Amino acid sequence: MQPDSLTIMGICYHCGKEIDPPLRCPHCNLTFCEEHLPQKTHKCIALSNNITGVNPQPLPKTIHYVEPEEEQRSTPRPRTVKTRKTSFLGKGITRRKVVIVALTLAISLGSIFILNQWQPELDKPPVGPVFPISKETIKHQEYVVLLINKERVKEDLPELTLDNNTIAQRYAEELLRTGVLKNNPDLPADMGENIMYFEGEDFNVTTVLDALLYDMVYDDADYDWGNRDNILYEEYTQVSVGVAYDENDLYLVQDFS
């Protein structure tokens, strides 16, 4: 059996649509669809005023169907050009440039991290849960919360929980180091703070904490009962506690929230 002959599709040189069978203009010898076959419709080059010596001929009433011919390689085939979206980084951005920028940022961030490891601690105690605290200090903090809750229970108030935010412990150690008794200037505005100080020799930490908590609740007139108000404020739900001391001094910090 003989193989079927291949059907060569024509193309309209005006709209680019494939046509079968193709229709050829007798004036410019190009193929068009039936819609664009008239000279004026496809703007036949034979009608151009820029070409001299060519007189346009009337379009015959009869439409001539011609056999499909191979397209001349010299004649460009109409095609759709897809526009490339510009990267959000702007024009001229390539993958190579992005990789270079990413590597540069990674190296810069790594350098900053290394420098931060060598940076000395700031004088102001930052807020955060990461801070080395000894088991003994945690025991003292929990004891202070126990004393606070005993007073709150007497007033039918809900008990507080120990806040794992170390802002109070950091500041207590800062006060012990500087010896300057003042409120924490970096304390968030929505937190209340109590600070008490004890000076003596060969003291027992637990005994001192008992005395300080008692004074804050029952003998706080010198401070306009501000310490008592914080301890018994019904809206507070937790407290960060700081206890720092040496042979002669003890600082107690309570930050309520």
- 254 pLDDT more than 70: yes
> How does pLDDT run across 173-220, given as a tens digit for each residue?
999 999 999 999 999 999 999 999 999 999 999 999 999 999 999 999
Predicted confidence at residue 122, as pLDDT, reads 45
pTM score of the predicted model = 0.51
SS3 254: strand
For the chain, give the mean pLDDT: 77
CATH topology of domain 135-256: Pathogenesis-related Protein p14a (3.40.33)
Lowest-pLDDT range of 27-31, 63-67, 114-118: 63-67
20 token code pair: 């079968």
Predicted confidence at residue 105, as pLDDT, reads 73
| Contacts for 64-69: CB closer than 8 Å, 24+ residues apart | 64/23, 64/24, 64/26, 65/21, 65/23, 66/21, 66/22, 66/23, 66/24, 68/7, 68/8, 68/9, 68/10, 68/20, 68/21, 68/22, 69/8
> How does pLDDT run across 228-240, given as a tens digit for each residue?
999 999 999 999 9
β partners of residue 183 = none
- β-strand pairing of 249-256 with 18-19: unpaired
Burial 18-56 (b: 16+ CB within 10 A, else e): ebeebbbbebbebbbbeebbebeebebeeeeeeeeeeee
- Sequence spans of domains, the chain: 7-78, 135-256
Predicted confidence at residue 86, as pLDDT, reads 45
Peptide bond into 21 cis (omega under 30): yes
CATH number of 7-78: 4.10.1110
